[in-house]
Chain A
């Protein structure tokens, strides 16, 4: 597992192909990022640039390391024992591994695979991050909660029951609540780890619309198993396989004429 990367797996340098047409700044950059669970090397020297105010999708078969990569970006991966990171991750050119982890997570929000609302009221769920980070007083808290629920396209459905338990909501609503909760602290980056895998197509469509609308406000990185989803929402797509980044490019390029055979095989459904 720790052998040197064979040349055919060397990740394409994304900068050459994608940057010239973009006016966007680089928000997150990883350099030779490797990730270990104990002695198992789950990520092999990932070098990747994520542009500001764009949606970047990460695709690949189960166990390819895309979620591990995502979870390294806000260092939530550190909560698992016996793991460590090698290489560099920068957020606006600052090394996140040297940042205060609380400050980092305030700037880089995350939405998980399964909706995980806290067993509290809808209001308290959204207010939680604001309170924890000591942002906003009592008056502005209500405004923040309302604004966040609007941004997550949930306000109309819950405005009359803000003090009901969040667990009364449907799965799709719960996931949008989790997005609202993440947005309440105005993150610069939003990481989404297969946010629609537990949802039906209608709820999925709502979340995808939402991502489109959020795009001008923050940088979005989404891990998905669903290739149509990546094709629909993402500006850039990265394909992971066996802990390596095989290819990273503009989404049209990835889906129309990928340069690597593995990418083409995966996208056309020949494996995975």
Chain B
């Protein structure tokens, strides 16, 4: 009797504790999101999406150039980080049993832990010194930040594909390479893609590496070799300014950044879901 009472009491306490922790964590997230959405949505206007920033002292204007700038920088980052990370992950998962690959794994994890501002300095030294502040340099910095996660998520998801599928393919006379590209990668596709989306969302909000690579600009940036405004840098600049109107725009920018990342995520998931059920 007492034993069963004790068990029930412990159960009730533990359940409450774990429940409270969950509520706490989810609560923080919802407070942040809610606060951002409330302030951001209130400050949004059509002008925000269509106009350039206005000089200090005037009110109004928008961040059209920063929205486009962020998209361009992220595109460069994606084109650079994903192929390297993906192919490296394929190598580690499928061929990586040697000492060399454990070194690669270790170095990758180290790279993942490098502060983003250091990556920015690296990009400054390697790219900006040669071609100047530019979209390309910003994309390069973010691309480097994408590599470790792209690599490790690819590796993890490929490893999770059952051996029985590989054997099934090879038993039909397929070579190892063919098996990897025709069976293993398609089977891991949706996991790898959602990993990439999270990765993209993470670097989309990076500010420090962009400060001295893509720099910033109040104008439209044409091509890939000019400095460009980006949403995170604009948020940073506007949020630390002393102007009420700029604070308002910084909130709006934060909200737009969040929404765009979310939209890309949902779109990608939808696309994956459709192609998966179609096959």
In the bound complex, what is the Cα–Cα distance between A133 and B172 (angstroms)?
Answer: 8
If the complex has contacts A119-B279, A120-B279, A133-B173, are A79 and B166 also in contact, measured as CB distance less than 8 A?
Answer: yes
Total A-B Cβ pairs within 8 A:
70
Interface-facing stretch out of A124-132, A138-146, A200-208, A258-266: A124-132
Q: How far is the CB of B102 from chain A (nearest CB, A)?
A: 15
Check if A114 is an interface residue, CB within 8 A of chain B: yes
Please report which residues of chain A, range 110-136, place their CB below 8 angstroms from some CB of chain B when the two chains form the complex: 110, 112, 114, 116-121, 124, 128-129, 132-133
Inter-chain contact A81/B97, CB cutoff 8 Å = yes
If the complex has contacts A106-B173, A129-B173, are A114 and B164 also in contact, measured as CB distance less than 8 A?
Answer: yes
Check if B83 is an interface residue, CB within 8 A of chain A: no
Inter-chain contact A110/B186, CB cutoff 8 Å = no
Main secondary structure on chain B at its contact with chain A?
A: helix
Residues of A within 8 A of B175 (CB): 102
Check if A233 is an interface residue, CB within 8 A of chain B: no
In the bound complex, what is the Cα–Cα distance between A47 and B173 (angstroms)?
Answer: 26
Check if A211 is an interface residue, CB within 8 A of chain B: no
Check if A246 is an interface residue, CB within 8 A of chain B: no
- A interface footprint on B158-184 (CB within 8 Å = 1, 0 otherwise): 000010111111111111001000110
Report the count of interface residues on B (CB-CB < 8 A).
Answer: 21
Partner of B167, one of A102, A112, A182: A112
Q: How far is the CB of B173 from chain A (nearest CB, A)?
A: 4
In the bound complex, what is the Cα–Cα distance between A133 and B173 (angstroms)?
Answer: 7
Q: How far is the CB of A49 from chain B (nearest CB, A)?
A: 23
In the bound complex, what is the Cα–Cα distance between A244 and B169 (angstroms)?
Answer: 30
In the bound complex, what is the Cα–Cα distance between A191 and B167 (angstroms)?
Answer: 13
Check if B187 is an interface residue, CB within 8 A of chain A: yes
Partner of B182, one of A112, A128, A133: A128
Interface bin, chain A: 20 to 34
Inter-chain contact B164/A165, CB cutoff 8 Å = no
Inter-chain contact B162/A132, CB cutoff 8 Å = no
Partner of A105, one of B165, B166, B172: B172
Partner of A110, one of B165, B171, B277: B171
Residues of A within 8 A of B182 (CB): 128, 132
Q: How far is the CB of A232 from chain B (nearest CB, A)?
A: 25
- B interface footprint on A91-113 (CB within 8 Å = 1, 0 otherwise): 00000000000110110011010
Q: Which residues of B contact A (CB under 8 A)?
A: 97, 162, 164-175, 178, 182-183, 186-187, 277, 279
